Amino acid sequence: MPARPRPSWDDYFINIAWVVASRANCLRRAVGALIVMDKRIVSTGYNGTPFGVLNCDEGGCPRCASDVPAQAGYDWCLCVHAEQNAIALAARQGTATDGAYLFVTLRPCFGCLKEAVQAGIREIVYDQSFEYHADLEDAYQSLLRQSGVMMRQHNYSAAHSVPPVATHATGDIGPEMPTQE
Ligand SMILES: [Zn+2]
Ligand SMILES: [Zn+2]
Ligand SMILES: [Zn+2]
């Protein structure tokens, strides 16, 4: 037995993803993501406005600052999702993502799932769940099956304390995701 308990890899990475989420500047739900290759973090991302744009929590995104409900007005939201940022910032610095793992504090939206598939992500591990409309859930599951990307929940925050951002995540402000037209 080791002298002190060490966290599992899942615990370790999800915990770090929560620390990443604490840097989110979006007025809506804070999310953090990591891209992990061979048990090493090669990219991180949290949600917020793109570089060069005023932070969301400083008024940078008119949509997030408005009173539109969660999942509405998505087309004009300026905020980049945590997973999108992790993938885009890897691209920006020339870091391969093919065959990597994606750890994220919230189950990815359909758009981020598509982008993760295309970035070559092999497995997605998320902490908090999110319920989708039945039609979207069908498309989501179909994409998982066809792409072969693995996805599983590791509900770390249910049993461990995480940075304060996590307590807001149980509110009624949903994650950013495409509206169903
Ligand atoms: Zn925002
Ligand atoms: Zn926004
Ligand atoms: Zn997303």
Pairwise CA distance, residues 117 & 5, whole Å: 34
What are the E-state strand segments in the chain?
32-37, 40-46, 101-106, 123-128, 150-153
Q: Which pLDDT score is estimated for 72?
A: 82
Tell me the per-residue pLDDT of 117-169, one tens digit each, with 9 for 90 and over.
999 999 999 999 998 899 999 999 999 999 999 999 999 999 999 886 644 44
Say how many Å lie between the CA of residue 5 and the centre of ligand 2. 41
| For the CA of 24, the nearest ligand | 1
Active site residue 83: yes
Say how many Å lie between the CA of residue 62 and the centre of ligand 2. 7
Tell me the per-residue pLDDT of 78-87, one tens digit each, with 9 for 90 and over.
999 999 999 9
Q: Which pLDDT score is estimated for 70?
A: 80
| For the CA of 78, the nearest ligand | 2
Say how many Å lie between the CA of residue 142 and the centre of ligand 2. 28
Give 58's contacts (C-beta < 8 A, 6+ positions apart). Answer: 25
